[in-house]
Amino acid sequence: MSALKPSRSRVKPSPVQILALAVGIAFLIVGFAGFIPVLTSNYDSLGVAGHHSEALLLGVFQVSILHNIIHLLFGLAGIFMFRSPDGARNFLLIGGIIYLALFVYGLIVDLDSAANFLPLNSADNWLHLGLGLAMVALSFLPRHPSASETAYRSREDLQPHPAT
């Protein structure tokens, strides 16, 4: 005899969740890369914070210990927040807005002043603009499975299962 039981299948992550996880992993990689001398030129001048750090990730992006830690924290946030559709969307949207604000900050701050605490250079500024725009755009991807996927899953859940 069979009984109708809901299946215990795992819900497929939405597009916004998958991309929030990918962005989170990318931030973790970048954060760790900033601490690897082979990937960071002038590693011996890596400062805690401020524009005096002359370390350059991939020889282009000015980094400091604080800068790397911020990337690591963003990565962890993406990995933890991807678990729910709304969390993934919020990570991408709020993170994107923060990076757009960093872009504006990088344009108005004197890069050789104490106010440049991260530190930032022009390559960082353009990267922040691209990241901010991309993250905000990705936040508008579907947060829930499409109607056809939901209908398919509903039919699957109603399949007879052997009685236990």
Tens digits of per-residue pLDDT, 114-158? Answer: 888 888 889 999 999 999 999 999 999 887 765 545 544 545 555
Instruction: Confirm whether 160 is domain-assigned.
Output: no
Instruction: Confirm whether 5 is domain-assigned.
Output: no
Instruction: Confirm whether 123 is domain-assigned.
Output: yes
Residue 127 lies in domain = 14-144
For the chain, report the end-to-end CA distance as a whole number of angstroms. Answer: 9
Instruction: Confirm whether 159 is domain-assigned.
Output: no
> Residue 17 class from Cβ within 10 Å (0-12 exposed, 13-18 middle, 19+ buried)?
buried
Instruction: Confirm whether 4 is domain-assigned.
Output: no
Least-confidence region, from 59-63, 93-97, 150-154: 150-154
Total Cβ atoms within 10 A of residue 124: 22
pTM exceeds 0.85, yes or no: no
Instruction: Confirm whether 2 is domain-assigned.
Output: no
- Cα of 129 vs its chain's centroid, Å: 14
Instruction: Confirm whether 150 is domain-assigned.
Output: no
Count of domains for the chain: 1
Per-residue pLDDT at 17 exceeds 80: yes
Percent of the chain having pLDDT more than 90?
66
Highest mean pLDDT among 49-53, 103-107, 147-151 belongs to 103-107
Instruction: Confirm whether 7 is domain-assigned.
Output: no
Token pair recorded at residue 49: 């914070």
pLDDT category of residue 71 using cuts at 50, 70 and 90: very high
Residue 117 has a pLDDT of 83
The Cα 51–Cα 114 span in angstroms is 7
Cβ partners under 8 Å of residue 55, min gap 6: 34, 40, 41, 42, 43, 45, 46, 47, 62, 63, 64
With beta carbons less than 8 A apart as the criterion, state whether 139 and 93 touch: yes
Q: Residue 53, CB half-sphere, CA atoms under 13 Å: how many? A: 29
